[in-house]
Amino acid sequence: MKKTILTLLVLAAAAVSQQRPDIIGVIMGSQKAVIAVPDMRGAGRAAGFMDVLNGTLFRDLDDAAIFKMAPKSMYPTRVPQQPGEFRKPLQYDPNNRNAAPWLQDWSDPPVNADYLAFGYAAEQDGQMVLFGWLFNVRQPDVAAAQVIGKLYFGPMDESGARKVAHEFASDILKQFGVESLAGSRIFFVSNRSGNKEIWSMDYDGPNQKQITSYKSISTMPSVSPDGTRIAFTSWALGQPQVFVHSLETLRRIPFLNPRAGTNQNASYSPDSKQVVFSSSASGFSQIYMANADGSGIRRLTNTRAVEVEPKMNPKTGNEIVFVSGRGGGSPQVYRMNSDGADVQRLTTGEGQATNPSWNPQGTHIAFAWTRGYDPGNFNIFVMDVNTREYVQLTSGAGRNENPTWAPDGKHIVFSSDRGGRSQIWTMLADGSQLRQLTSAGLNEKPAWSK
């Protein structure tokens, strides 16, 4: 009897699972072309920077999450540097190691690639030049196979090697309708200078630079969608207030804070013309909306509970997610219309749920929650806002908080103390491909900007 009941429970669970939408599948997509990316060689001074160039190119394509990367251990020994090295044999023999490279070397087992990215780097007039090609190796001849054949230029140093690799990868991704993350930046909070200040870095970690110098606490950065301003919360005046800096001059620009002990958590509307933020102007911290300079303020929520972290839907601007303790319980994630109407709780009421962040498509949120695996510790979850279905991305690896989506909607940046100290990490939106980006000091509260 017990075995029968157990069987029925398993079948019922399987049926429910089959009815659930595949959240990760919707976000990440399922069809992936196989691409081979052999290490390229460099001539002259370029040879000293090929590890950086090859590593950057491979990571850019791998991180895009639209390819299946052919394992390098399966590559043939005959790796072309330019199209002229391909020679079509009269009779193809994959075991003939003395034959010239051919397309089937890459399309046939064990590589089974659909595409091949190859080329070489050299020095030209003191600059680094990358000769890059992308071939569809399923085509019958070299002329039909070429998809990209282009030169890329950069300075003769590591930054130049990253530059040409980023540009080549970006051109490859465009062929598949995907925008590269190269050029995007991550803003975050770091105490490495002695105080919590706002810093920025390239999306993959290089060029970490300090943005603010208030020698106080500056935290919770949010970048306007047009990329011109960054809003954050600062204690420089004694109490938390919203500060705004120009990202062109890095200087502070005016923002009219309401008279309140706490003004914080500012974030922008899709057109960058408005902000939503939390203010204690009425006593309890509530959600407000204002023009981008703080004028024209209007109150959106009216409860006797702390309400913080508002984020406006980046696609429609018609709804806001936020964190509230309304109902007398622990903080949970809620949504409402942008005028404050139709408030609905998204999370179940279990544990504590904080740090909501919309994906660029305005369909899913990432957030931190203390339920699920490793209960009591914050972990990163993703939820379909329409269906309320959710998946857990992190577990058993310390405290994971403050998730923010990348512009491509396939990556998430977050803070984690899994190594003993809070640092900035990225991962794919299915929880894979974890990468640590910072190591100096304590780093937290990242925000990803185009």
Question: How many separate domains does the chain show?
Answer: 2
pLDDT digits (tens, 9 = 90+) for 111-120: 999 999 999 9
* Domain assignment of residue 12, yes or no: no
Both 165 and 194 in one domain: the answer is no
Both 196 and 245 in one domain: the answer is yes
Can you give the residue range of the structural domain that contains 415? 185-449
Both 359 and 395 in one domain: the answer is yes
Q: Give the three-state DSSP class for 179.
A: coil
* Domain assignment of residue 13, yes or no: no
Both 143 and 221 in one domain: the answer is no
Final residue of a domain: which of 139, 174, 209? 174
* Domain assignment of residue 20, yes or no: no
Nearest to 119 by CA among 135, 96, 143, 104: 135
Angle between helical axes of 158-174 and 50-63 (0-180°, round to 10): 30
CATH of residue 87's domain is 3.40.50.10070
pLDDT of residue 10: 36
pLDDT of residue 30: 61
Q: How far is CA 246 from CA 231, 243, 284, 331, in A?
A: 9, 10, 30, 33
Both 110 and 258 in one domain: the answer is no
* Domain assignment of residue 180, yes or no: no
Both 269 and 390 in one domain: the answer is yes
* Domain assignment of residue 94, yes or no: yes
89, 157 contact by CB (below 8 A): no
369, 382 contact by CB (below 8 A): no
Is the full-model pTM beyond 0.85?
yes
Q: How far is CA 4 from CA 7, 9, 10, 12, 357, in A?
A: 5, 9, 10, 12, 44
* Domain assignment of residue 197, yes or no: yes
* Domain assignment of residue 7, yes or no: no
pLDDT digits (tens, 9 = 90+) for 355-403: 999 999 999 999 999 998 888 899 999 999 999 999 999 999 999 999 9
pLDDT of residue 317: 96
- Separation between Cα atoms, residue 445 and residue 423, nearest integer Å: 9
90, 102 contact by CB (below 8 A): no
pLDDT of residue 98: 64
pLDDT of residue 97: 64
* Domain assignment of residue 39, yes or no: yes
Both 65 and 201 in one domain: the answer is no
- Separation between Cα atoms, residue 226 and residue 346, nearest integer Å: 29
Both 168 and 239 in one domain: the answer is no
Both 328 and 228 in one domain: the answer is yes
Final residue of a domain: which of 174, 198, 215? 174
CATH of residue 286's domain is 2.120.10.30
Q: How far is CA 212 from CA 114, 198, 204, 206, 268, in A?
A: 47, 5, 21, 18, 20
Both 228 and 160 in one domain: the answer is no
Both 324 and 404 in one domain: the answer is yes
Final residue of a domain: which of 174, 201, 218? 174
pLDDT of residue 400: 98
Tell me, rounded to whole angstroms, the distance of Cα 146 from its chain centroid: 31
Both 195 and 97 in one domain: the answer is no
**84: which DSSP letter?**
G
pLDDT averages per 10-residue partition of the chain, 450 residues: 40 35 68 93 96 96 92 93 90 71 93 97 96 96 95 97 97 92 96 98 95 97 97 96 97 97 98 98 96 97 96 97 91 97 96 97 97 89 96 95 96 96 96 95 97
83, 95 contact by CB (below 8 A): no
